[in-house]
Structure formats: structure tokens, C-alpha cells
């Protein structure tokens, strides 16, 4: 937790507010997820498996719901710049916090289903 606080504190105050809100959304939607710094950004693991990541950049917030999460929300994220496992939300545009929450909830359900299938 302290490492994530330190990561967020490196950004300008307005960006910190956005990062903190994204963090709170993830922690609320995935309270059992483990939080830490992974690959130089904030990451969450659920049942020891990657769940989602986010990072601050100069002009955007990178949100990484893994390729599966992005595929499930292909239509909703179509307007944003994307890479294989990420979507970029520009800081000078409204951040779609409700969409981020939906993506996290989706990823939690996906990982729970995967765990259930493994335990059979």
C-alpha cells in the first residue's frame, strides 16, 4: 500500500486525484485483490492471478484489464486509444470511471469462474 501511495504522490495533484479515484474504484469492486507495484505501475492480483493494472502518464491514464477484459468491452472502449492489453484515457477528457468499474467487476467474475473451473 505504501508503495502505491508513493507511486501516486509522484504525479501532479490533479492527476493524483484521478489515480486515487481509479484506485478506490478497483479496491471497492475487488476488495480481496492484492495491491502492489507491478511492471512499474499499480497492479492487482486476485487469487494470485493478474486482475487489472493502471498507471499514470504525462497525458493519459493507462488502464490494463488484460486482453480478455478489453475484448469484453470492445464496443465501450472503441473511442479510446488502445494497445493489446491496455486502453488510454486522456487526462484532458472526462475519465469513464463507471466503465472502469464495469471492467474490474467483469475481471473479478472472470477470475472467480476460472478458479471454480480449476477446483472441479
In a domain, 24, yes or no: yes
Contact 45, 107 (CB under 8 A): no
Q: Would you state the pLDDT for residue 8?
A: 98
Please enumerate in sequence order all residues whose Cβ is within 8 A of that of 78, keeping only pairs 6 or more positions apart, or say none: none
In a domain, 106, yes or no: yes
> What's the structural domain count of the chain?
1
Distance of CA 83 to the CA centre of its chain: 14
In a domain, 120, yes or no: no
The residue range of the domain holding 49 is: 2-115
Give pLDDT tens digits for 34-76: 999 999 999 999 988 999 999 999 999 999 998 888 889 999 9
In a domain, 42, yes or no: yes
Report how far apart, in Å, the C-alpha atoms of 110 and of each of 50, 64, 107 are.
11, 15, 5
Residue 57 is part of a domain; what is its CATH number? 3.90.1150.200
In a domain, 72, yes or no: yes
Q: ∠ CA 79-81-85 to the nearest 5 degrees?
A: 115
Amino acid at each position: 500500500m505504501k508503495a502505491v501511495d508513493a507511486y501516486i504522490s509522484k504525479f501532479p495533484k490533479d492527476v493524483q486525484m484521478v489515480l486515487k479515484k481509479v484506485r478506490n474504484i478497483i479496491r471497492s469492486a475487488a476488495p480481496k485483490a492484492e495491491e502492489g507495484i507491478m511492471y512499474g505501475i499499480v497492479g492487482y492480483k486476485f487469487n494470485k492471478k493478474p486482475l487489472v493494472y493502471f498507471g499514470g502518464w504525462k497525458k493519459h491514464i493507462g488502464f490494463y484489464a488484460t486482453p480478455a477484459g478489453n475484448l469484453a468491452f470492445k464496443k465501450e472502449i472503441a473511442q479510446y486509444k488502445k494497445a493489446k492489453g491496455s486502453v488510454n484515457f486522456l487526462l484532458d477528457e472526462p475519465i469513464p470511471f463507471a466503465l472502469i468499474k464495469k471492467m474490474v467487476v467483469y475481471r473479478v467474475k472472470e477470475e472467480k469462474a476460472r478458479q471454480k473451473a480449476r477446483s472441479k
